[in-house]
Amino acid sequence: MRILPLGILLRLSKLESLLKMWIVDHLPRWVIYYSIVKAGVYACSGKYSKQVLSQVTLIQVMRRWEAGK
């Protein structure tokens, strides 16, 4: 098995990121809206149920979402 050089891996990583952003930019607004709502509800439920959504930062929401996967 041949390992790709670091430069090529970085370019592929950037290309992957650009593709993901392009897809998100072209999703309907209602899909984005309900995705945000779902992530916010998830961030304030279960073991975090005592926390008010208005006191949770975006970074906390993202970390909780990733930890729950």
pLDDT at 1 over 60: no
0.95 surpassed by pTM: no
Q: How many domains does the chain have?
A: 1
Q: Let me know if residue 45 belongs to a domain.
A: yes
Q: Let me know if residue 1 belongs to a domain.
A: no
Q: Determine contact, residues 32/39, Cβ cutoff 8 Å.
A: no
* pLDDT at position 33: 95
What is the tens place of the pLDDT at every residue in 33-68?
Answer: 999 999 989 889 888 889 888 899 999 999 998 988
What is the tens place of the pLDDT at every residue in 16-30?
Answer: 888 889 999 999 999
pLDDT at 5 over 70: yes
Cα–Cα distance for residue pair 40/42, rounded to 1 Å: 5
Domain of 39? 6-67
